[in-house]
């Protein structure tokens, strides 16, 4: 509601004491689900599974569980089973009901609030089970203890019957089995679980808890690959192998359409060491060893694993009690302090760094570093409500001390590895200095010449960034049409020539030297890397507008790689979008329709009829549209389709791996990615590959 409308609104009744509502039980969760799971879209739906699994993982961290099974059932209910101790079934004397009922029906009730049930734990502030119950059409819990099976059922958070004994089990069997069906009146967008989304998260949980076995099953028996998709997959595989071999290859046979349950099992005895190996699978390691350090200090248990590779990007991920901390915190600071000081000391002592040379910076040493920092702590203190940054001061000292001591010893015992890391860091230092000079030269030119913006930028006249947007357009031809079509007050146009530099394979000095990238950096206004300042962003929306073909998708991916690596907060804060130009233009009887997919074209043809008077144009590029058509289909805020680029902070490591796989040097991981994901491709134009 605008300010003007708010001022004109009349109030029909007084705001008195009786207007204050008291929501009983789990009503608050059902009334405001976003407060508890963030969103009721797909991400929130899958979060329900994570909350139940987190409770089972806590049992594993406490040493009482070694196997968790997650099953997606027919009908999209989910069953999570563990062999932990089982939720207590005795009467909780404060509540006067069984403890299991307390766990599922009362917010902020559980064994994670200092009562001695768990030494360390993750989960959603201890409210996970009750929140899942509140947001489910129904939930059933079975508990195995002392040779007996107990069961209770809830519907939309309400108890259906008292906890009851329903059978017997082996005397030594313990554990909990929870089955729930998400409420489709809450999750109105979708209640269909994505196997691959769950697979990625459960794999990460298994990496972080060495020795824990997590099994994921999909009993829905969906078709894995349809016949019409196989032809596209075969062609993609043939071309991928041809690229690898430098010539042509015969199509690779792909399994025909089958119906069978999918099963994946995750078990990593090496824990986070195997996590690093997994993240580095699309890169070339600088040395064979994966360095691993662990220890306990000040009641903080520390695990660190890392390995350098030949890339130029830092991929460091931190966790507290298996909770991802995308904004880092004290544990990450401790790690960075330790490796910066230790490597500088080693380089000085071995004369790899001369007395006249400056110290290596942390960024120099972390170039091409893949690392996992995982700490377990009894009472984690997070900054803010989102658990994204650890604040415990003792974590910093613990990580710093353990890594410094054990890394110093490792470098002394492995001089060849130490030398390779130091030499790469020194090269990074020189490149950083060259990049600084290039950046300073650009700043001096700007100050002297007044060339504050790139010459080919057609800027907008409005100076309020909240009203403004910039289109990054592929090619001068499309750029010319866009400049003519745009709303000059609020829409800026920056045309790019061809494909920009692949930053996944370039150091910072090469990036600053690239004309197209420099134009974007200057236009956006934020700077990049350590200079990045989102408060200086000149446009609320950055819209990537490329052709609707494979080359256009490649250019979009190059642009997203640059933004993801050097300006990730633009994505995190929701400023980056993809324009969606139409694929088809249909004319009949002087009327025009635009279709953005094959399915949409079919719907239009059903409506207008399929006859010879239909004139259908398949757009191969933005340049085929005149300014009027480009405005109508792709740039008019009232009619256009924009796809916002989302950043899932809970899956940062998978995002990093995806960009490395798609844009890195290794062909084999990219081929595997095509095999795994080709079944999702729609509107694939084989001729344009």
Annotated catalytic residues are: 474, 547, 549, 551
Strand partners for 208: none
Q: Is 252 exposed, middle or buried (0-12, 13-18, 19+ CB in 10 A)?
A: middle
Cβ(661)–Cβ(502) under 8 Å? Answer: no
Tokens of residue 86, six digits: 């089982």
H-state helical runs in 77-144: 99-105, 128-134
Neighbours of 15 (CB within 10 A): 8
Distance CA 604, CA 650 (A): 40
Separation between Cα atoms, residue 209 and residue 206, nearest integer Å: 5
Asked if 186 and 179 count as a contact pair (C-beta separation under 8 A), the reply is no
DSSP class per residue in 38-86: S-SSHHHHHHHHHHHHHHHHHHHHTTS--EEEEEE-TTS-EEEEE-SS-
Helix (H, G, I), strand (E, B) or coil at 593: strand
- Listed residue (625, 552, 637) closest to 592, CA to CA: 625
Q: At what angle do helices 652-663 and 667-677 cross, to 10 degrees?
A: 110
Distance CA 187, CA 43 (A): 10
Both tokens assigned to 500: 């920009």
Strands 469-474, 491-496: pairing kind: parallel
Element (H, E) at 164: strand 164-168
Tokens coding 43: 């991400």
**Beta-carbon count within 10 A of 161 CB:** 9
Closest CA to 432 of 359, 486, 499: 359
Phi, psi of 463 (to 5 degrees): -105, 5
The residue count of the chain comes to 689
- Phi, psi for 634 (deg, rounded to 5): -130, -20
């Amino acid at each position: 509601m605008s300010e003007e409308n708010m001022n004109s609104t009349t109030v029909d009744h007084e705001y008195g004491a009786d207007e204050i509502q008291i929501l009983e039980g789990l009503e608050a969760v059902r009334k405001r689900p976003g407060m508890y799971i963030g969103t009721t879209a797909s991400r929130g739906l899958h979060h329900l599974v994570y909350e139940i699994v987190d409770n089972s993982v806590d049992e594993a961290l406490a040493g009482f569980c070694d196997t968790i099974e997650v099953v997606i059932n027919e009908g999209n209910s989910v069953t999570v089973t563990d062999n932990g101790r089982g939720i207590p079934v005795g009467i909780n004397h404060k509540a006067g009901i069984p403890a299991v009922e307390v766990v599922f029906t009362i917010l902020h009730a559980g064994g994670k609030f200092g009562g001695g049930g768990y030494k360390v734990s993750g989960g959603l502030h201890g409210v996970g089970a009750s929140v899942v119950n509140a947001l489910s059409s129904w939930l059933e819990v079975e508990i195995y203890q002392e040779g007996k099976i107990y069961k209770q059922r809830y519907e939309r958070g309400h108890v259906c019957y008292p906890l009851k004994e329903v059978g017997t089990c082996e005397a030594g069997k313990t554990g909990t089995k929870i089955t729930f069906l998400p409420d489709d009146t809450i999750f109105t967008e979708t209640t269909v679980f994505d196997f691959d989304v769950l697979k990625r998260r459960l794999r990460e949980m298994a990496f972080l808890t060495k020795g824990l076995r997590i099994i994921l099953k999909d009993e829905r028996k969906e078709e894995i690959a349809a016949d019409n998709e196989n032809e596209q997959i075969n062609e993609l595989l043939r071309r991928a192998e041809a690229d690898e071999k430098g010539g042509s290859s015969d199509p690779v046979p792909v399994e025909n359409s089958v119906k069978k349950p999918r099963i994946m099992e995750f078990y990593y005895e090496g824990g986070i060491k195997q996590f690093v190996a997994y993240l580095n699978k699309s890169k070339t390691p600088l040395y064979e060893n994966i360095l691993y350090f662990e220890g306990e200090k000040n009641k903080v248990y520390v695990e660190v694993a890392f390995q350098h590779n030949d890339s130029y990007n830092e991929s460091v991920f931190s966790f507290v009690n298996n909770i991802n901390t995308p904004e880092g915190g004290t544990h990450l600071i401790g790690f960075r302090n330790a490796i910066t000081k230790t490597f500088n000391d080693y380089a000085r002592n071995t004369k790899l760094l001369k007395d006249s040379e400056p110290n290596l910076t942390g960024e120099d040493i972390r170039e091409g570093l893949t690392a996992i920092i995982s700490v377990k702590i009894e009472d984690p203190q997070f900054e803010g409500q989102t658990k994204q940054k650890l604040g415990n001061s003792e974590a910093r000292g613990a990580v710093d001390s353990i890594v410094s001591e054990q890394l110093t010893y490792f470098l002394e015992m492995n001089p060849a590895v130490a030398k390779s890391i130091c030499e790469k860091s020194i090269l990074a230092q020189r490149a950083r200095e060259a990049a600084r000079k290039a950046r300073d030269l650009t700043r001096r030119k700007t100050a002297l010449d007044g060339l504050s913006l790139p010459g080919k930028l057609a800027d907008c006249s409005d100076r309020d960034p909240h009203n403004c947007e910039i289109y990054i357009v592929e090619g001068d031809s499309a750029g010319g049409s866009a400049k003519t079509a745009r709303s000059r007050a609020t829409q800026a146009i920056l045309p790019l020539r061809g494909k920009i530099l692949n930053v996944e394979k370039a150091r910072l000095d090469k990036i600053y030297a690239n004309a197209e990238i420099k134009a974007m950096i200057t236009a956006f206004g934020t700077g990049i890397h350590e200079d990045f300042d989102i408060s200086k962003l000149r446009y609320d929306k950055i819209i990537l507008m490329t052709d609707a073909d494979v080359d256009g998708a490649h250019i979009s991916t190059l642009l997203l790689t640059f933004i993801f690596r050097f300006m990730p907060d633009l994505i995190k804060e929701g400023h980056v979008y993809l324009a969606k130009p139409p694929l088809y233009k249909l004319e009949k009887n002087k009327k025009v329709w635009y279709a953005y997919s094959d399915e949409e074209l079919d719907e239009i043809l059903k409506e207008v009829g399929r006859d010879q008077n239909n004139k259908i144009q398949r757009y191969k590029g933005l340049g085929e549209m005149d300014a009027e058509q480009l405005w109508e289909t792709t740039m008019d805020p009232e009619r256009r389709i924009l796809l916002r680029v989302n950043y899932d902070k809970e899956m940062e490591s998978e995002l990093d791996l995806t960009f490395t796989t798609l844009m890195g040097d290794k062909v084999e991981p990219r081929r595997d990615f095509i095999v795994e994901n080709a079944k999702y491709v729609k509107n694939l134009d084989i001729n344009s590959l």
